[in-house]
Structure 1
Amino acid sequence: MDPASLHAEASAATGLHDFGEPTHHEALERLVEALNTEARLNARGVAEVRGTLRAALINRLLLHRSPAPPPIGAGTGPVVITGPPRSGSTFLHTLLACHGGLRAPRLWELMHPVSPPGVPDSVLIEATRRHVAAYYAAAPAMRDIHPMRAEGPEECEYLMTTDFRNTVLGLIGYRVPGYAAWLLDQDLTDAYRLHRLQLRAILARRPMPPGGRLLLKCPSHIWHLPSLVAVHPGTTLVELRRDRRQATASACSLALHARRKRSDEVDPLEIGEQLDRALRLGTSRLNSFTAAPPAGVTHVPVDYEDLVRDPVSTARRLFGLLGLPDVPPALLDRHIERCARRGRHVYSGRDFGLAPDASAHRPAADR
């Protein structure tokens, strides 16, 4: 792979040539170099990541082909769920998204933030369903580790790929330590500006309900919170708190299965060392940020064990703090029952060289 050929392929697929401000060049070059020299990709991994990078460039082209979408309404900022990976953010995200006053972007929207000319939503949704089916066919364990649906809420890290500054990709999806180390030290303000522009395009296609709030989620925000809130003023930051050792072990298991899908040479001990170091840094940055949040940022901590023990009360408490009307508990109960029917995620910290008690056979919230 090389950046020039990827740009050429994206232009050939669309007939477009304006990629916008060249903020993405260095990140793409570093990522491609790491994929070529560090990732140990098998043939499937090469094909998959090439498609991912090409799709990101196509999204850049589509985003810049027409006038900018209308701004997100002034006033209340987004609700952003974050915390160390595997602290229950996916479970809480999908639970809060049951509320009609919260607009959570769906996976198909995040993968296709701008519709190609003449392509209806139904085509994009079906393409995303095929993507999810292929993903689980190649990595069946991921169904229980990180459940996804084309029309279900998903983490907004997908939008960071458009500027090639995707922390999940760098730490979890691929063995690219050089790129990951570089990325963790970068100012991502420009990437978050593009993140916001894509959210504007998504909302222009399917607006928020009157008086609604945007609901976002991604653990990777913990490394870059100053950049996030600089671009998204008025953020309500919902921070999930879980024992760091257990969260790290669960994240390592996620990375192991994600990387095995793309490489035949995956070292669990290497994953443990990399993620333990990165999550110590992320937790330190998160704690420093939340100790004195900037003006306009509301910080709401949520304990993982409280979420596991009583998810309905946790959700209803958050709805109240957000100034949203309550919802019937039965609505939340139905969602929790659907989550409980999924398989369990079993892992051991020992497999990754971590503390021996960082092991679990966890419930639906271990996502």
Structure 2
Amino acid sequence: MLAEKLRISDLAHPVLTEMQKQALAHADANPVMLTPEAVLAAACAATGLSDFGDDGFRPRLSLWLKACDDDTGLSALGRAGIFGQAVNYAVARLYLEDLIRRYPEIEQIDIDRPLIIAGLPRSGTTYALALLAGDPRLRSLPHWEGIRPVAGPYIVGGKDTRHDLCAREWAQTDALLPFVKSVHEFAPDHVTEDIELQGMDFGGYYIEWTARVPAWRDFQFSTDRTPWLRYMRRAMQALTWQKGPNRWVSKCPQHMEQLREVNAALPGAFTVINHRDPVASIQSAITGGAYSARVTRASVNLREIADYWIDRYERLLRACVRDRDALDPARSYDLYFHELMADPLGQLEAIYHGADLPFDDQTRTAFETAITANKRGRHGQLSYDLRGDFGLEPAAIRERFSFYFDRFPQVRVEVQ
């Protein structure tokens, strides 16, 4: 059965729902201050804690918030979302530091040869992760746990309330922006990215999806990202201590531009690099971003969104081409989108062979179940139109990425 094709016809000139209008009005009436003092004070008030651990994150937090504050195109709701996200990361950090202070043995936990997936946004990384997470021998990160990684503060009457909290938040998001789930689902049980754990040390490119923050983007390219990737590992240790096992499978598209640093922060990692026609990936990403912009931006500028992300993709791919051969070929695998879609079980078996993981009948059954449960387009598939919506020619975009096709000629052209 083919997935329903969904067309967003008002990208450039959004027709807002009543709920969207109310959310924007509420944010306008309740502006936020994007300052480190406001964020950290809110986190302390929410938790009753004050020890954030190592202060190395503070300059990054300041730059993060200033870059967002300098974006005059953000709507009040966009600013509120960034403020709330920063507070949530600070809250999670306070709880993590408190947990490790009380149980210092957490820092001795070994994160054993994790499987780390890198790849462009919208290149099959989410699908690959969801399938690999079907193996109970691997530790993955459901969204409900990724956004609240420390359980203790949320156990009420003997029940862990984090799943219920996440379900309510997702229901609100889904009601506000119903097409989001067709782009990237954030339901509680959706296996999420490790960027949530990087965010606790105020690292990563998450805010680039909401705000135009060239200062933050350029800072990331000019600095060593290993510190916040090591903090990600610290969070993995705590999550493993709460519930094993200690061999992880995780992913983040931004790992494409930090392959060396990920492997430095996670010694022994097996890296899976997803590859896809960048134009196919870009059309999906910018359409989703343009849709969300109706509430996060003061106005929707489709060309601005496209220009930013085409450039951003080029940076991701140039870094990947630069660093791919630095990885140990025995500890890495190139996964091509068309091959994953055609033969997911065969590709998973190849990954397991490279990662030295047994691929037995039980594993095969687990993956067959995961493949059935994660069919593409179960929420409908968006219909994309680069020419009609963005005034862009696919061939002209692809020309910018000739260096990538030269290095990875197995990548198939999808968008003509």
Do both proteins adopt the same fold according to a TM-score greater than 0.5, normalized to the shorter chain? yes
Counting matched residue pairs gives 354
Q: What SS class does the counterpart of residue 23 from structure 1 fall into?
A: helix
- Residues 355 and 29 of structure 1, relative CA distance in 2, 3 Å threshold: same
- Residues 116 and 352 of structure 1, relative CA distance in 2, 3 Å threshold: farther
User: Corresponding residue for 1:336?
Assistant: 371
- Residues 278 and 62 of structure 1, relative CA distance in 2, 3 Å threshold: same
Cα-to-partner distance string for 1:155-199 (whole Å, 9 max, x where unaligned): 1111111122221322x2333233223223321111111111111
Q: What SS class does the counterpart of residue 240 from structure 1 fall into?
A: strand
Partners of 2:51 and 2:241 lie apart in 1 by: 21
**Residues 197-208 of structure 1 aligned to structure 2 (within 5 Å):** 197-208=234-245
**Counterpart selection for 1:264 from 273, 293, 298:** 298
**Counterpart selection for 1:91 from 116, 127, 149:** 127
Check the 8 A contact 1:175/1:259 in 2, yes or no. no
- Residues 250 and 130 of structure 1, relative CA distance in 2, 3 Å threshold: same
- Give the superposition deviation at 1:205: 0.9
Cα-to-partner distance string for 1:318-363 (whole Å, 9 max, x where unaligned): 233332233465644443344243311322333345433579xxxx
**Counterpart selection for 1:5 from 26, 35, 38:** 38
- Give the superposition deviation at 1:236: 0.4
User: Corresponding residue for 1:78?
Assistant: 114
Cα-to-partner distance string for 1:5-38 (whole Å, 9 max, x where unaligned): 2111111222211111111222211221222221
**Residues 226-245 of structure 1 aligned to structure 2 (within 5 Å):** 226-245=260-279
**Residues 1-367 of structure 1 aligned to structure 2 (within 5 Å):** 1=33, 2-38=35-71, 40-65=73-98, 66-67=101-102, 68=104, 70-71=106-107, 73-74=109-110, 76-117=112-153, 119=155, 122-170=160-208, 172-208=209-245, 213-293=247-327, 298-322=331-355, 323-326=357-360, 327=362, 331-338=366-373, 339-340=375-376, 341-350=378-387, 351-356=389-394
Partners of 1:189 and 1:308 lie apart in 2 by: 33
Amino acid at match of 1:185: S
User: Corresponding residue for 1:364?
Assistant: none
- Residues 189 and 96 of structure 1, relative CA distance in 2, 3 Å threshold: same
Identical-pair percentage: 25
Amino acid at match of 1:63: L
Check the 8 A contact 1:38/1:177 in 2, yes or no. no
Q: For structure 1, which runs of at least 5 residues remain unmatched after alignment?
A: 360-367
Amino acid at match of 1:156: D
Partners of 1:180 and 1:140 lie apart in 2 by: 29
Structure of greater Rg = 2
Partners of 2:235 and 2:141 lie apart in 1 by: 11
Alpha-carbon RMSD: 2.4
Amino acid at match of 2:216: Y
Amino acid at match of 1:155: E
Partners of 1:15 and 1:185 lie apart in 2 by: 36
Residue range with higher mean Cα deviation, 130-139 or 67-76: 67-76
Check the 8 A contact 2:198/2:229 in 1, yes or no. yes
Partners of 2:111 and 2:49 lie apart in 1 by: 35
Check the 8 A contact 1:96/1:315 in 2, yes or no. yes
Q: For structure 2, which runs of at least 5 residues remain unmatched after alignment?
A: 1-32, 399-416
Check the 8 A contact 1:312/1:333 in 2, yes or no. yes
Cα-to-partner distance string for 1:269-304 (whole Å, 9 max, x where unaligned): 111111111211211111221113159x71101111
Partners of 2:127 and 2:338 lie apart in 1 by: 13
